[in-house]
């Protein structure tokens, strides 16, 4: 498994643990969770490389134990985990517990091939692979970025829309917009305004919108406005079909983008999956619809007629499976009775 390098702007030969961590979090954590979190802080301050396998070896845990501990701290909002399209862990963001909630910075643990040699980070979550991946920026790169003439204006624009000072992680996002996506000041201005107007101030969401625009060849604010109008109609139509109102979350946007871009489904096919989802479940509807659409993708569905063929074939198999088998010496035992509808729903929900 690849190695993880932890970066911070300064280095001190000591490990400082937040009093808030001791007072609020330590009492509920088990032995493995405590060791792993404290070790991450230790490696952060030392600016040394590590990996899931290294941590497992050091504390005589399995890699699954390490992943479970990381997910525990993520659930408690002490860190955030990034995954690539294959669900591999590629990044960790440690949150600063002593900073105000509105401006808490995060420190990146990024994948590296060797100590202090950062490589490109894929997108967060299960989004399809993108040609625009966010790099890991070093402290020197951030300092150089802050010294640019245009940077203060960009940061001022972003802070005006967000309503608070930007965290170091958010400043990296602005750097990503300029240096990787090559967005102009006007386009970045429109990008942040567009997201904030929809109630989205999370920079992970803003990054996903920016990457979507870049992949569509959007280079000006006028192009972005035209594309967004068309794109919004599609997104909100799918949201409505799933019984959702309001703006999508970053995770929901990932699903919709995958269905329309990676899978290449037209809205009528997506609507069909949404209709089946609504009839089947009241919970986790995006995950359920993803199960349906991913199976249709594997079955090379391109038109609604293809779906009918799959349904007919499924019904034929059910009928064949339900036919009574003549008794003989080879089947004189109690037969299992399966609820195939329930099994299908269970499989699609995973």
- Please check whether residues 209 and 156 belong to one and the same domain: yes
Whether residue 234 is predicted with pLDDT greater than 70 in this model: the reply is yes
Q: What's the rounded mean pLDDT across residues 166-179?
A: 87
Higher pLDDT, 54 or 255: 255
What confidence score (pLDDT) does residue 340 get? Answer: 55
- Please check whether residues 7 and 114 belong to one and the same domain: yes
What confidence score (pLDDT) does residue 47 get? Answer: 61
- Domain boundary pick from 219, 235, 251: 235
- Please check whether residues 102 and 175 belong to one and the same domain: no
- Domain boundary pick from 118, 150, 175: 118
Q: What is the pLDDT of residues 60-97, one digit of tens each?
A: 778 888 888 898 888 888 888 877 666 777 777 777 77
- CATH code of 25's domain: 1.10.10
What confidence score (pLDDT) does residue 125 get? Answer: 33
What value does the mean pLDDT of the chain take? 76
> In this structure, what token pair is assigned to residue 242?
């799933």
- Please check whether residues 271 and 222 belong to one and the same domain: no
Per-residue pLDDT band for 347 (boundaries 50, 70, 90) equals low
Range of the domain at 271: 263-321+338-350
Cβ proximity of 271 and 255 under 8 Å: no
Is 289 part of any domain?
yes
How far, in Å, CA of 58 to CA of 53, rounded? Answer: 9
CB atoms within 10 A of CB 19: 10
- Please check whether residues 143 and 113 belong to one and the same domain: no
Query: Residue 271: beta bridge partners?
Result: none
- Please check whether residues 107 and 144 belong to one and the same domain: no
- Domain boundary pick from 70, 86, 118: 118
Is 30 part of any domain?
yes
Q: What's the rounded mean pLDDT across residues 311-334?
A: 70
Whether residue 331 is predicted with pLDDT greater than 70 in this model: the reply is no
- The total of structural domains in the chain comes to 3
Q: Tell me, yes or no, if the pTM score tops 0.75.
A: no
CB atoms within 10 A of CB 61: 19
Is 21 part of any domain?
yes
Q: Name the DSSP letter for residue 60.
A: T
Burial of residue 200 (CB within 10 Å: 0-12, 13-18, 19+) is buried
Q: What is the pLDDT of residues 89-132, one digit of tens each?
A: 777 777 777 655 444 445 555 433 333 222 222 333 333 345 56
């Amino acid at each position: 498994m690849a190695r993880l390098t932890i970066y911070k702007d300064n280095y001190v030969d000591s490990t400082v643990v937040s009093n808030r961590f001791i007072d609020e979090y330590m009492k509920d954590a088990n032995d493995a969770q405590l060791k792993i979190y404290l070790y991450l802080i230790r490696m952060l301050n030392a600016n040394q490389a590590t990996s899931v396998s290294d941590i497992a070896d050091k504390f005589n845990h399995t890699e699954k134990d390490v992943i479970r501990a990381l997910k525990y701290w993520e659930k408690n909002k002490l860190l955030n985990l990034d995954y690539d399209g294959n669900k591999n862990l590629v990044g960790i963001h440690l949150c600063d517990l002593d900073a105000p909630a509105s401006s808490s910075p995060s420190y990146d643990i990024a994948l590296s091939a060797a100590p202090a040699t950062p490589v490109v980070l894929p997108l967060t979550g299960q989004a399809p692979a993108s040609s625009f991946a966010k790099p890991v920026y070093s402290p020197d790169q951030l300092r150089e970025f802050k010294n640019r003439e245009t940077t203060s204006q960009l940061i001022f624009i972003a802070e005006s829309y967000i309503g608070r000072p930007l965290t170091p992680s958010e400043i990296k996002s602005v750097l990503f917009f300029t240096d990787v996506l090559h967005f102009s000041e006007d386009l970045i201005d429109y990008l942040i305004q567009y997201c904030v107007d929809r109630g989205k101030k999370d920079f992970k969401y803003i990054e996903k919108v920016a990457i979507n625009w870049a992949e569509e060849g959007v280079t000006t604010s006028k192009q972005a406005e035209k594309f967004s109008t068309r794109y919004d109609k599609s997104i909100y139509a799918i949201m409505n079909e799933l019984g959702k109102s309001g703006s999508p979350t970053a995770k929901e946007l990932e699903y919709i983008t995958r269905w329309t871009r990676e899978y290449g489904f037209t809205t009528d096919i997506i609507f069909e999956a949404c209709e089946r989802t609504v009839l089947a479940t009241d919970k986790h509807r995006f995950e359920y619809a993803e199960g349906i659409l991913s199976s249709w993708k594997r079955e090379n569905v391109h038109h609604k007629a293809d779906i009918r063929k799959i349904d007919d074939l499924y019904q034929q198999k059910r009928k064949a499976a339900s036919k009574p088998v003549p008794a003989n010496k080879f089947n004189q035992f109690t037969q299992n009775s399966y609820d195939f509808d329930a099994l299908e729903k269970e499989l699609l929900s995973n």
